[in-house]
Amino acid sequence: MKFALIGDIHGFWNERDIEYFNNSDYDVLFFAGDLGKLGRFGKIGFDFSLAGLHKKAYLIPGNWDGTNVLGLLGEAKNISLFKWMGSFGYAKRMKIFSEKIRPIPIMGYSSVVLSDKESLTLVVGRPHAMGEGFSFAKNLSSVYGVRNQEESKTKYKTLLDSISQDNLIFLSHNGSYGLGDKATSIYGADFKKEGGDIGDEDLQFAIQYAKDKGKKVPAVLSGHMHHYSPIAKKERESIVYTGGTTYINGAKVPRIRKGKQFHTKIEWNGGSVTAIPVWV
């Protein structure tokens, strides 16, 4: 099976993308979130539509989707007042977001069978994840009844216990904890001189829980940490293979350069995964 991972669009999407992916031989497209960008008057949003996309696709919202500047600042700086103020209007913002990405569904803490024949299921993780703890707790509590890391782990367990397929592909916005703490690591903190691993611990737990149940996890797909590290002044790791799983970060930002568009091509042969960065 062939898949495309499209990470961190941040406004860089156009009709050429629609035409290319509609005519491609991909079985499914995976959007890792962060379609939005900072616009006029400090508003977060985007000025394109996915309505013309006919290829089967699934999307998890990132920390720039359905949020606002106050909420983002509150999460980034851990300011409780800003987190609280930023949570107001969340339902309305997500409704607008869902209308713009139709017919693609918004997913979170959910799963969908990709192939009965191949016994393959997509597991979609925690929306709006941005590392360094549990972000946007008030919003997630209102929609998913999840307020912290431990409740998120329990939510993952319940979800994974309901899946009968043998092979699982995870889709998250932020990546998994445990893959390195350097600025150039796939989910290393490139905004700190000392570095640090800002992968999600609840996602790491879910992956290991699935494996302990006898499931195979050929790939974990995500974005969030942009490929270029301003501290290291070079590209970070974007594809890491460990423990039988290929971890793929699709966040090339900007993803449109010199007339070419970026995505990651993923091929799964029933056993192993091949991931190829592509400019078209």
For 235, the token pair is 């590209």
Contacts 24+ apart (CB under 8 A), 96-99: 96/45, 97/35, 97/61, 97/65, 97/66
Alpha carbons 59 and 44: distance in angstroms, whole number = 18
pTM of the model: 0.97
Q: Look at residue 185 and tell me whether its pLDDT is greater than 90.
A: yes
> What is the predicted pLDDT for the residue at 66?
95
pLDDT band for 194, please (50, 70, 90 cuts).
Answer: confident
Using one digit for the tens of pLDDT, what is the confidence trace for 2-32? 999 999 999 999 999 999 999 999 999 999 9
pLDDT at 262: 98
* Cα–Cα distance measured from residue 225 to residue 236, given in angstroms and rounded to the nearest whole number: 9
What pLDDT is attached to residue 39? 85
Average per-residue pLDDT for the chain? 96
* Cβ–Cβ < 8 Å for 280, 265: no
Which residue carries 């940490």 as its tokens?
A: 225
How high is the pLDDT of residue 210? 98
Domains of the chain by range and CATH? 2-279 (3.60.21)
The predicted pLDDT at position 177 comes to 98
Q: Give strand pairing partners of 35.
A: none
